[in-house]
């Protein structure tokens, strides 16, 4: 039973780290696209950030 808990805890940790990484990478991509005058890229990157951070917040704050 303890290995099952350990696996699920590890899986949740990997999901959280991946989501935070995706959000931060999206913000960086938005800044790079903004300074490169690629405004469609800025919008797409910010949508990816909002989706990543929004889903993370929903998962963490549900109760």
Q: What is the pLDDT of residue 3?
A: 75
Q: CB within 8 A of 29, min separation 6: which ones?
A: 41, 45, 48
Map out the domains of the chain as residue ranges: 2-61
What average pLDDT score do residues 20-39 get? 93
Distance CA 48, CA 34 (A): 15
3-class state of residue 63 by DSSP: coil
What average pLDDT score do residues 31-60 get? 92
Which pair of tokens denotes residue 8?
């699920």
Q: What is the pLDDT of residue 41?
A: 92
């Amino acid at each position: 039973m303890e290995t099952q808990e350990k696996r699920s805890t590890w899986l949740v940790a990997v999901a959280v780290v991946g989501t935070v990484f995706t959000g931060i990478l999206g913000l960086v991509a938005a800044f790079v696209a903004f300074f490169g005058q690629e405004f469609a890229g800025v919008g797409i990157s910010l949508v990816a950030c909002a989706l990543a951070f929004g889903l993370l917040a929903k998962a963490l704050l549900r109760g």
